[in-house]
Amino acid sequence: MRPFSTALAIGLATAQIATAALAADITGAGATFPFPVYSKWAEAYRKEANVGLNYQSIGSGGGIKQIQARTVDFGATDAPLKGEALEKDGLVQFPTVMGGVVAVVNVPGVKTGEVKLTGELLAEIYSGKIKKWSDPKIAKLNESVKLPDAVITPVYRSDASGTTNIFTTYLSDVSADWKKEFGASTTVSWPVGQGGKGNEGVTAVVKQVPNAIGYVEYAYAKQNNLPVILLQNKAGQFPQPGDESFQAAAANADWKAMPGFGIALTNQAGEKAWPITAATFILIPKSPNDPARAAEVLKFFGWAYKHGDKLASELDYVPLPDNVVGLVQEEWKKVTGKDGKPVLGL
């Protein structure tokens, strides 16, 4: 493989990073949901292949806009684009890993797994219908837990967010009222609460505001020691979030059902299934301006599929099944150079 710059820039770009990163680095932007695993992969890949990665964790909406404008080599989104959008923008879409979105809280004395909520109750909290932790509906489900008579502060994403799309897709699945009033989208007109930018921002707000509740990718909850709420799944159970319950949610997934593998994994059947599970996706042009750089992007993710499973699992992401990886690599043949041939020989 042709050597590239050894510079590595992960996270929000700073002037110092921008100066250090050379033009040959792979560039990407978008979803904050997979940022922890992309960071780990990039660090390991740089040591092995001598290729740098500049990934800006700016949210799915920003990632989609940047790849549409062709200002990055790849975009990243947790809200998969539909077939017509992929066709319109000349993009190929593929999943990288699966993970879970969890509800985290900052309630004095409450530890992970001590509080349970149904999806309906979670929807009522975020719609402002349930205002206090002492609400009788919450108390009935949590008789053994002492919850304060305190106002709940729901924390949400203030930016266009694939994590929000996953979360509100779930709320729409379990609550007819939520679906009618707010629906599922990357942006929502939240009726109550406080916003934070990115998974990082929501995590920070929840940590700072007593009696807050927020939704973040599971790795952020673990890394910041935030207590996680147990959510009732479609089978009526309250599984622990983690790779086993995320895998259970994806067990019967039909990846061919939607263009660009854009299937939903929320509210899946199965006693062990975590109810807010999702894949995260990469967007790359079918006809890239620089085919050589596009090839390097695909080499990076090809390496991640082959060598990155352990790093992903350590962060409680779920690697894609081998058969899905095979389907993805077939899809990569649609990324072609000016001669019409695939940029990456498979």
Q: The CATH number of the domain where 328 resides is what? A: 3.40.190.10
Structural domain tally of the chain? 2
Same domain for 109 and 233? yes
Q: Both tokens of residue 218?
A: 């599971």
Residues 88 and 166 in one domain: no
* Co-location of 140 and 58 in the same domain: no
Given the structure tokens 């263009």, which residue do they identify? 259
Q: Tell whether 2 is covered by a domain.
A: no
Classify residue 253: in a domain, yes or no: no
Any idea which residue has 């509740």 for tokens? 213
Task: Note whether 136 and 82 are same-domain residues.
Answer: no
270 occurs within a structural domain: yes
**182 and 94 within one domain:** no
Residues 215 and 109 in one domain: yes
User: In the prediction, which pLDDT does 346 show?
Assistant: 54
Q: For residue 3, tell me if it sits in a domain.
A: no
298 in a domain, yes or no?
Answer: yes
pLDDT at 22: 42
**So what's the pLDDT on residue 251?**
86
With CA atoms as reference, report the closest residue to 203 among 186, 220, 227.
220
Residue 226 lies in a domain: yes
Instruction: Supply the pTM of this predicted model.
Output: 0.85
pLDDT recorded at residue 133 = 98
Query: Is position 223 within any domain?
Result: yes
Q: What is the pLDDT along the chain (346 residues), one digit of tens a residue?
A: 333 333 344 443 433 333 334 446 899 999 999 999 999 999 999 999 999 899 999 999 999 999 999 999 999 999 999 999 999 999 999 999 999 999 999 999 999 999 999 999 999 999 999 999 999 999 999 999 999 999 999 999 999 999 999 999 999 999 999 999 999 999 999 999 999 999 999 999 999 999 999 999 999 999 999 999 999 999 999 999 998 999 999 988 899 999 999 998 999 999 999 999 999 999 999 999 999 999 999 999 999 999 999 999 999 899 999 999 999 999 999 999 999 999 986 5
Give me the pLDDT at residue 154, please: 98
Domain of residue 38, residue span: 9-98+278-334
Based on the domain organization, do 38 and 78 belong to the same domain?
Answer: yes
Same domain, 128 and 175: yes
